[in-house]
C-alpha cells in the first residue's frame, strides 16, 4: 500500500485555519468582511474575554437561504467567484471560500441567517467542523455568527493567545479601521462590560475620524484627495492578431486617492500609525509604505513616521488580491505608477497645505515621537510584522524605550481601553452555550432588538463621541468645522512683520494669524537646502576656491565611503583630491561653507553614508545621498543661533522661507515656525 493519503477535510480545514485564523482579531476580520460583502449597513460585534470565549457578529446583510448556509461551511465554497477569470477582477473582500470552514474547524460556531424572502430562516450549529444541528428559525433578514471557545480543539494555538486586554485591543483596532473605511455604515463593538466602538453612519470620513478619535486627532490631520486616469489597464493586452476588432475599447479607469495625513509636527517612532486601504481592504504593503516615507523625506526625520490613513481606489483588475491566505497583502499590476502617484499626491498636498505648527501643540509633540496610535502591542492586522512590543524592551533600544516612557500618554488613534472586568454579555447565559441559544429568551430578544435604535447600548466613556451621529449633532458639526478651519498655514510668512529677536536666536514676527516665533537657524537651513537641491538639479552649484587647500584626515573605512560619494560631492561644489593614503585636500567648496564647518560637514556626510549598503535601488540611494549632502551643507552654512540680525535680514529670511516648498520643518524634521494664534492669545488673556 502506498504511503500517500488524502487528508480528511477536517484536518485540511485545520491546516487552512492555521493560515487564516491566528487570533480572535483574525476571526473578526473574516466575519466583518463577510458582512460587508453581504451588503450590510449595520454591523455589531460583541466579544467576551477578548474574543477567546465568544465573538459574535450580527449584520443586516442579504443573509443566506438554508442550502447556502450549509454550503458556506464547506471548503472552497463561495458565492463570490465562479471561474478563474473572476480572480482577475475581484470586487469583494472574500473570494477564497475558506474562512468559515477554517473558523468552524477550530471553534464552536452558531450561524443564524435569513434572507427575508423566505418563510423561515436557518439556525445551524457546528463544532470542530461537525454540523450538530440545523433548524428553521424565525429571524429577521441578516446573519449572526457566534464563534465560541476559539481553538478549543487546538491547545497549541490556544497557548499563543495573549492576555484578554491585548486580544481585545487587536479586535478594537480592526473594527475601528473597517469603520474608518466605511463611514456610511453603522459599526459597534461591545465587550462584556462596555461599548468600545460606537459609530453610527455619517457622510464623510472626517466625521468618522471625529466620531471615533475625537477633535484633537482630527485637528492634527489634513485631508488629501487626488485622481488620475490610468493610461492603460495593468493586465497585459492580448496580441493584435488575437484582438477582436469589434470589441469596444476598454476604459482603463481611474486611480483615486483620498485620506488623511499628519502635519509634520506629529511624528511616530514606527509605522503602526499608517493605514492603507486598497478598494476598502485593509492591507500592509511595503511599496506604499515606501511611497509615504518618500513623501515625508526631509520634512520629518528619517527615523520618524507620519500618521496616514490612505484609501486607494482602482479598478479591481489593477490589483491582485490573491497573494496571501489572510488577504492582507496585494500586488499591484502597475507598481511604480501607483508608488509615484501616492508619493507625489502626498508631497503635493504637504507643499500646498504648509500647515503651521501651533506653539502648544509643538510642545506636546516634542521630539520624542510617541510610539504608536494603537493600544499596547497592537497592529491593525493579525500577525502583522509591523507590530512592535509596547513598551519596547529596555535592552532592545534604550533610547526608544525612554522616549516611549516619556511620551506614552498623548495622542492615541484608538480609544484607550479600560481595564477588562471579567464578565459575560448579558444575553449569553453561560459563555458559549450552543444549546441554550435556541431559546429566544436567552439571547434572541436581544438579537431581535439589535437593529432597533432604541436598543442601542449607552455609549462607553472611551469613545469620545460615541453615540453621536456627527451629521445630526450640532456639537460634532461645530467641532468638525473648527478643526478644519484651525489648520493655519504658512502662506503668509512673507507678509509677516519682524519685531526683533529673542536672545539673538529666534525671530519674533506678527501677522494676521497671531504671533510667530521663527527659529532663524533652521529657517535659513530650509532655504539653503532647497536652493542647493535646485542648483544641483541644473548642475549650477556655486563653488568657491579656498585660499589654501584644507587637509582632512580620514580613517581607512572613511576613505572607502568617500570614494563612493566623491562624484556626488564634486557635483555639489567640492573639489577634493587625495593627498597621501589617508588625507584629502579640499581645494574648493560650496559657497558659504568654510573652516571647521566645512570639516564637520564632510565628516557628517561620510558618517551618514557609511550606513548605506550596496542596495540594488541605485536611483533611490542617489536621491537620498543628494538629500543628505544638501541637508548637511545647509546645516553647516546656515545662520547660527546667537547671531544678531538686522530688520532687513530678518525680512529677507522670512520672504525666502515663504518661497520654499516645506517651510514647516527643516530637512532634519525640526519645526521652523510656531504660531501663537490670535485665538490662543485671546483665550490666555481670558478675552474669549
Residues lying near ligand ATP in the complex (CB under 6 A) are found at 30, 34-35, 38, 59, 61-64, 72, 77-80, 94-100, 143
CB of 235 to ligand ATP, least distance (A): 22
For the bound state, the minimum distance from the C-beta of residue 476 to ligand ATP, rounded and expressed in Å, comes to 30
CA distances from 277 to 40, 178, 210, 291, 328 (A): 19, 9, 19, 14, 10
Task: Using the minimum distance from each CB to ligand ATP, give the nearer residue, 59 or 265.
Answer: 59
Angstrom distance (rounded) from CA 503 to CA 152: 68
Q: Which CB atom, from 37 or from 265, has the smaller least distance to Mg ion?
A: 37
Q: Are the beta carbons of 318 and 333 closer than 8 angstroms?
A: yes
The minimum distance between CB 79 and ligand ATP, in angstroms, equals 3
Cell (9 digits) for 554: 580620514
Q: How far is the CB of 325 from Mg ion (least distance, A)?
A: 12
Using CA atoms, how far residue 597 sits from 364, 541, 603, 637, 641, in Å, is 33, 18, 10, 7, 14
Q: Report residue 419 as a C-alpha cell.
A: 481595564
Nearer of residues 59 and 530 to ligand ATP, judged by Cβ: 59
Q: Which stretches within 589-670 are classed as H helix? A: 595-609, 618-637, 647-659
Nearer to ligand ATP, 175 or 601 (CB): 175
Q: Pick one of ligand ATP, Mg ion, none as the site partner of residue 104 (Cβ within 5 to 8 A by kind).
A: none
Euclidean distance between CA atoms 51 and 150, whole angstroms: 8
* Residue 79 near which of Mg ion, ligand ATP, none (CB within 5-8 Å, type-dependent): ligand ATP
Q: By the 8 A CB rule, do 73 and 131 touch?
A: yes
According to DSSP H, which parts of 58-127 are helical?
Answer: 66-71, 99-105
- CA–CA separation, 167 and 25 (whole Å): 7
| Minimum CB–partner distance for residue 434 and ligand ATP (Å) | 18
CB of 115 to ligand ATP, least distance (A): 9
Q: How many CB atoms lie within 10 A of CB 129?
A: 24
Taking CB atoms, the residue at the shortest distance from Mg ion is 94
Q: How far is the CB of 148 from ligand ATP (least distance, A)?
A: 17
Q: Report the C-alpha gap between 434 and 493 in whole angstroms.
A: 67
Q: Which is nearer to ligand ATP, 82 or 242 (CB)?
A: 82
* Residue 80's binding partner out of ligand ATP, Mg ion, none, with CB under 5 to 8 Å set by partner kind: ligand ATP
Residue 35's binding partner, choosing from ligand ATP, Mg ion, none, with beta-carbon cut-off 5 to 8 A by kind?
ligand ATP
If we measure between CA atoms, which residue out of 57, 26, 42 comes closest to residue 173? 26
Q: Which is nearer to ligand ATP, 77 or 442 (CB)?
A: 77
Question: Considering the complex, what minimum distance in angstroms separates the CB of residue 186 from ligand ATP?
Answer: 15
Least distance in Å: CB of 531 to ligand ATP? 53
- Collect all residues with Cβ–Cβ distance below 8 Å to 179 and sequence separation of at least 6: 185, 187, 197, 199, 208, 212
Pairing of strands 142-148, 186-191: unpaired
What's the min distance (Å) between Cβ of 325 and ligand ATP? 9
Pairwise CA distance, residues 74 & 10, whole Å: 10
Q: What are the distances in angstroms from CA 163 to CA 23, 30, 234, 383?
A: 11, 21, 44, 15
Minimal CB distance residue for ligand ATP: 94
* HEC profile of 506-543: EEEEEECCEEEEEEHHHHHHHHHHHHHHHHHHCCCCCE
CB of 139 to ligand ATP, least distance (A): 12
Question: Which residues are CB-contacts of 572 (< 8 A; sequence separation ≥ 6)?
Answer: 532, 536, 541, 590, 626, 629, 630, 633
Closest CB to ligand ATP among 70 and 448?
A: 70
Question: Least distance from C-beta 42 to Mg ion, angstroms?
Answer: 18
**Angstrom distance (rounded) from CA 524 to CA 640:** 9
Q: Residue 94 or 514: which CB sits closer to ligand ATP?
A: 94
* Cα 568 from Cα 59, distance rounded (Å): 60
Q: Which residues bind Mg ion (CB under 5 A)?
A: 34, 94, 99
Q: How far apart are CA 486 and CA 398, in angstroms?
A: 37
Which one of Mg ion, ligand ATP, none interacts with residue 188, CB within 5 to 8 A by kind? none
Q: Which is nearer to ligand ATP, 75 or 626 (CB)?
A: 75
Q: Round to whole Å and give the CA distance between 384 and 374.
A: 13
Owner of C-alpha cell 457622510 = 203
Three-state SS at 124: strand
> In whole angstroms, how close is the CB of 145 to ligand ATP at the nearest point?
7
Q: Which is nearer to ligand ATP, 44 or 524 (CB)?
A: 44
Which of residues 31 and 465 has its CB atom nearest to ligand ATP in the complex?
31
Report phi then psi at 60, rounded to 5: -110, 35
Q: From the CB of 98, what's the least distance to ligand ATP, in Å?
A: 4
Q: Report the side by side order of strands in the sheet with 221-229.
A: 221-229, 254-262, 308-313, 274-278, 281-283
Binding partner of 407, given ligand ATP, Mg ion, none, CB within 5-8 angstroms per partner class? none
Give the DSSP letter string of 33-59: HHHHHTT-SEEEEEEEGGGTSEEEEEE
Alpha-carbon span 320 to 630, nearest angstrom: 39
Among candidate residues 329, 229, 337, 252, the one with its CA nearest the CA of residue 285: 329
Closest to Mg ion by CB, 283 vs 357, is 283
Nearer to Mg ion, 36 or 161 (CB): 36
How far, in Å, CA of 507 to CA of 492, rounded? 15
Q: Which is nearer to Mg ion, 94 or 101 (CB)?
A: 94
Nearest distance from C-beta of residue 119 to ligand ATP, angstroms: 18
Is 600:636 a contact under the CB 8 Å cutoff?
A: yes
Q: Which is nearer to ligand ATP, 97 or 431 (CB)?
A: 97
Amino acid at each position: 500500500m502506498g504511503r500517500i493519503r488524502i487528508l480528511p477535510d477536517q484536518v485540511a480545514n485545520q491546516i487552512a485555519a492555521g493560515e487564516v485564523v491566528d487570533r480572535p482579531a483574525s476571526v473578526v476580520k473574516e466575519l466583518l468582511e463577510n458582512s460587508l460583502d453581504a451588503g450590510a449597513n449595520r454591523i455589531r460585534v460583541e466579544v467576551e474575554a477578548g474574543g477567546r470565549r465568544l465573538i459574535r457578529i450580527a449584520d443586516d446583510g442579504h443573509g443566506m437561504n438554508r442550502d447556502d448556509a450549509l454550503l458556506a461551511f464547506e471548503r472552497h465554497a463561495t458565492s463570490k467567484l465562479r471561474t478563474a477569470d473572476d480572480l482577475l477582477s475581484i470586487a469583494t473582500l472574500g473570494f477564497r471560500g475558506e474562512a468559515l470552514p477554517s473558523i468552524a474547524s477550530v471553534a464552536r460556531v452558531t450561524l443564524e441567517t435569513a434572507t427575508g424572502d423566505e418563510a423561515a430562516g436557518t439556525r445551524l450549529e457546528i463544532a470542530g467542523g461537525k454540523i450538530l444541528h440545523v433548524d428553521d428559525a424565525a429571524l429577521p433578514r441578516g446573519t449572526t455568527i457566534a464563534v465560541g471557545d476559539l481553538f478549543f480543539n487546538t491547545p497549541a494555538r490556544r497557548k499563543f493567545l495573549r492576555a484578554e486586554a491585548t486580544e481585545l485591543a487587536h479586535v478594537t483596532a480592526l473594527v475601528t479601521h473597517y469603520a474608518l473605511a466605511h463611514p456610511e455604515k453603522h459599526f459597534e463593538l461591545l465587550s462584556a462590560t462596555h461599548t468600545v466602538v460606537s459609530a453610527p453612519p455619517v457622510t464623510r470620513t472626517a466625521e468618522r475620524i471625529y466620531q471615533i478619535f475625537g477633535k484633537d486627532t482630527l485637528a492634527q490631520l489634513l485631508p488629501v484627495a487626488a485622481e488620475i486616469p490610468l493610461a492603460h489597464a495593468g493586465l497585459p493586452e492580448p496580441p493584435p492578431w488575437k484582438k477582436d476588432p469589434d470589441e469596444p475599447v476598454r476604459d482603463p479607469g481611474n486611480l483615486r486617492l483620498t485620506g488623511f495625513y499628519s502635519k509634520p509636527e506629529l511624528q511616530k517612532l514606527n509605522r503602526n500609525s499608517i493605514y492603507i486601504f486598497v478598494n476598502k481592504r485593509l492591507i500592509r504593503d511595503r511599496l506604499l509604505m515606501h511611497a509615504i516615507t518618500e513623501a515625508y523625506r526631509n520634512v520629518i526625520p528619517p527615523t520618524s513616521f507620519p500618521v496616514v490613513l490612505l484609501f486607494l481606489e482602482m479598478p479591481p483588475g489593477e490589483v491582485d488580491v490573491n497573494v496571501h491566505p489572510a488577504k492582507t497583502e496585494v500586488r499591484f499590476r502597475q507598481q511604480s505608477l501607483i508608488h509615484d502617484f501616492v508619493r507625489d499626491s502626498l508631497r503635493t498636498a504637504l507643499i500646498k497645505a504648509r500647515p503651521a505648527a501651533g506653539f502648544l501643540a509643538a510642545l506636546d509633540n516634542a521630539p520624542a515621537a510617541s510610539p504608536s496610535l494603537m493600544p499596547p502591542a497592537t497592529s491593525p492586522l493579525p500577525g502583522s510584522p509591523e507590530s512592535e512590543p509596547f513598551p519596547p524592551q529596555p535592552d532592545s533600544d534604550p533610547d526608544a524605550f525612554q522616549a516611549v516612557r516619556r511620551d506614552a500618554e498623548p495622542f492615541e488613534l484608538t480609544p484607550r481601553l479600560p481595564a477588562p472586568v471579567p464578565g459575560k454579555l448579558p444575553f449569553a447565559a453561560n459563555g458559549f452555550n450552543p444549546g441554550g441559544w435556541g431559546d429566544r429568551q436567552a439571547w434572541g430578544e436581544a438579537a431581535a432588538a439589535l437593529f432597533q435604535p432604541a436598543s442601542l447600548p449607552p455609549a462607553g466613556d472611551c469613545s469620545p463621541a460615541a453615540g453621536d451621529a456627527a451629521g445630526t449633532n450640532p456639537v460634532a458639526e461645530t467641532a468638525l468645522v473648527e478643526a478644519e478651519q484651525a489648520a493655519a498655514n504658512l502662506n503668509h510668512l512673507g507678509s509677516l512683520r519682524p519685531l526683533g529677536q529673542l536672545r539673538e536666536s529666534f525671530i519674533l514676527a506678527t501677522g494676521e494669524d497671531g504671533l510667530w516665533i521663527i527659529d532663524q537657524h533652521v529657517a535659513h537651513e530650509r532655504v539653503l537646502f532647497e536652493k542647493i537641491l535646485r542648483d544641483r538639479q541644473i548642475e549650477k552649484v556655486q563653488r568657491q576656491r579656498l585660499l589654501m587647500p584644507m587637509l582632512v584626515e580620514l580613517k581607512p573605512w572613511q576613505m572607502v565611503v568617500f570614494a563612493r560619494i566623491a562624484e556626488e560631492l564634486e557635483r555639489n561644489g567640492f573639489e577634493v583630491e587625495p593627498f597621501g593614503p589617508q588625507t584629502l585636500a579640499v581645494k574648493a567648496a560650496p559657497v558659504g561653507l568654510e573652516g571647521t564647518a566645512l570639516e564637520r560637514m564632510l565628516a557628517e556626510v561620510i558618517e551618514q553614508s557609511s550606513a548605506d549598503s550596496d542596495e540594488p535601488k541605485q536611483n533611490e540611494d542617489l536621491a537620498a545621498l543628494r538629500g543628505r549632502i544638501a541637508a548637511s551643507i545647509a546645516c553647516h552654512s546656515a545662520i547660527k543661533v546667537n547671531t544678531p540680525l538686522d530688520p532687513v535680514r530678518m525680512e529677507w529670511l522670512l520672504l525666502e522661507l515663504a518661497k520654499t516648498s516645506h517651510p514647516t520643518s527643516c530637512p532634519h524634521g525640526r519645526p521652523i515656525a510656531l504660531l501663537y494664534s490670535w485665538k490662543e492669545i485671546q483665550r490666555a488673556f481670558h478675552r474669549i
